[in-house]
Amino acid sequence: MSEPNVLILGPPGAGKGTQSERIAEEFDVQHITTGGILRANKDMETDHGTPREYMDAGELVPDPVMNEIVEKELDEADGFVLDGYPRNLTQVEALEGMTDLDVVLYLTVDREELIRRLTGRRECPECGATYHVEFEPPETEGVCGECGADLVQREDDTEAVVQNRLDVYHENTAPVVEHYEDTGAFVRVDGNGTPDEVWDNVKAAIEDAA
């Protein structure tokens, strides 16, 4: 399929970012993430203020503001892979008024595997380099290969926090997944394999939607 419109869904640790980057490169489409477009449009004037006003106050950017920003990005894109939006049924309804989706990919990963992936991440507090104790370890255990600083586990990646993040994700996004399950564009993809194995299934699902 040439320049498809793709939505990718899945819990934290499912590999959405990795697969989205490969989709963007393979199909020559724009990779649209909520974090990326919020940073790029912090001062965009909307009917409900700018994203910066909410971000600086430590508040969630409300749906109406998020919807306007997403619509702007989609209008400028010739094909896209959308990652991180929609997060609720209000945003689903808004998205349906903006564009048509060719395929909705839902990456499914066992909870134990998600916890293993997320709790194994390590970060360098000095240069920002990232590692994983199993999948991408540094040459010297616990030491950054870029600058030699001691690696740390982010608070977000401790098991207690990860468990809570997964609970919140499933509670909030279950209605979104259920909505798309009832559409012909929905494809469930097993995300338990290696990135290359998952990519083979992701690529096939997009090509089959052509």
User: What's the pLDDT tens digit per position in 78-101?
Assistant: 999 999 999 999 999 999 999 999
Domains of the chain: residue spans and CATH = 5-29+78-208 (3.40.50.300)
pTM value?
0.88
Choose, from 116, 165, 188, 203, the residue flagged as catalytic: 165
Q: pLDDT-derived band of residue 196, with 50, 70 and 90 as boundaries? A: very high
Choose, from 42, 87, 111, 188, the residue flagged as catalytic: 87
Closest CA to 69 of 61, 57, 59, 81: 61
pLDDT at 184 over 80: yes
Choose, from 16, 22, 117, 122, the residue flagged as catalytic: 16
The verdict on whether 87 is a catalytic residue reads: yes
The verdict on whether 72 is a catalytic residue reads: no
Which residues share a beta bridge with 132?
121, 136
Q: pLDDT-derived band of residue 210, with 50, 70 and 90 as boundaries? A: low
Q: pLDDT-derived band of residue 192, with 50, 70 and 90 as boundaries? A: very high
Residue environment code for 132-161, b if the CB has 16+ CB neighbours within 10 A, otherwise e: ebeeeebeeeeebeeeeeebeeeeebeeee
The two three-digit tokens of residue 2, written as one number: 């040439």
pLDDT at 1 over 80: no
In the predicted model, what is the mean pLDDT of residues 155-172? 93
Residue 35 has a pLDDT of 87
The verdict on whether 16 is a catalytic residue reads: yes
In the predicted model, what is the mean pLDDT of residues 188-196? 94
58 or 114, greater pLDDT? 114
User: What's the pLDDT tens digit per position in 40-64?
Assistant: 999 999 888 999 999 999 888 999 9
